[in-house]
Amino acid sequence: MSPVNLTRGESGIATVTIDRQKQLNALDDATIGMIHDVFDEIAADESIKVVILTGAGEKAFVAGADIQELAQQDSLEARNRALQGQSALAAIEGCGKPVIAMINGFALGGGCELALACHLRYASAKAKLGLPEVTLGIIPGYGGTQRLQRVVGRGRALEMILSGEFVSADKAHAMGLVNGVFDPDELSAGVMAVAETIAQRGPKALGFAIEAVIRGGECNLEEGLAIEADLFGLTSATEDMKEGMNAFLEKRSPEFKGR
């Protein structure tokens, strides 16, 4: 069995499952490489509109990086491992499709960083999230120090990172780390409902909206507004824009083609 499985479903909704259940879906180097490859494939597949990313089993989304590998690394290997992990997670964030993390259990260390690279995050009520790297004498290396503060603010990010403690799903929701919390037996249906709603929207518009938010969030307001205006202009050159406008005027549902 592959540790990273891509399943294409109905309505353009795909599911990526990290499946290393004996290791609580921990991210070893091979799995990181496969994640990168799968999201490169997703980016190139026009039939995929929305992606749900989750972990196999009931215990863990992803319970961190593979400690067996980390324990053997020297300084150069550690830096290269961080760069490879960051590249794989950047492929998720930049795939041009909305990616929803379905956090079904522990999302710790690299698992929390994996969820942070997704555009939306929904958690089971039993989930625990955290960046416990300092308890091992290291720091987050797959983007956690950067993405977490952009999501929850610097103070809360430093509290999580410096304490290394886990937070409950409810606390993660209160601090804005996850978008919503579901009872465990309702998580899959709840996330699928969100995905189905998003999948009905214009694919080009979704990609441009994600780009505007991410790129704009990394610069000042004036530069962000310029990015927004440019991308707004690009959406107006698409067939989907014409279809969306005509459908509204004709009082019918749009049939977007992603062109």
The catalytic position among 10, 93, 133, 223 is 133
Q: Which of 204, 230, 205, 233 is nearest to 216 (CA)?
A: 230
Res 172: pLDDT: 98
Catalytic (active site) residue 243: no
Q: In terms of domains, do 122 and 180 share one?
A: yes
Residue 215 structural domain = 203-249
Residue 24 falls inside a structural domain:
yes
Last residue of a domain, one of 163, 179, 199: 199
- The reply to whether 111 and 226 lie within a common domain is no
Of the chain, the percentage scoring pLDDT greater than 90 comes to 83
Summarize pLDDT for 54-72 with one digit per residue, the tens. 999 989 999 988 888 888 8
Of 69, 93, 113, 250, catalytic: 113
Count of alpha carbons within 13 Å of 187, Cβ hemisphere only?
A: 26
Residues 86, 141 within the same domain: yes
Q: What was the pLDDT predicted at 245?
A: 84
Claim to verify: residue 144 and residue 114 sit in the same structural domain: yes
Q: Is residue 255 part of a domain?
A: no
- Mean pLDDT score of the chain, rounded to an integer? 94
Which one, of 149, 187, 231, lies nearest residue 15 by Cα? 187
Same domain, 210 and 174: no
CATH of the domain at 212: 1.10.12.10
- Domain match, 193 and 207 both: no
- The enclosing domain of 172 has a CATH number of 3.90.226.10
239 and 176 co-located in one domain: no
**Within this chain, do residues 87 and 215 fall inside the same structural domain, yes or no?**
no
Q: What is the pTM of this model?
A: 0.94
* Tokens coding 152: 């929850």
Q: In sequence order, what are the residues at sequence separation of 6 or more whose Cβ sits closer than 8 angstroms to the Cβ of residue 221? A: none
- Tell me whether residue 133 is one of the annotated catalytic residues: yes
Question: Which residue, among 126, 124, 133, has the nearest Cα to 165 in the 3D structure?
Answer: 133
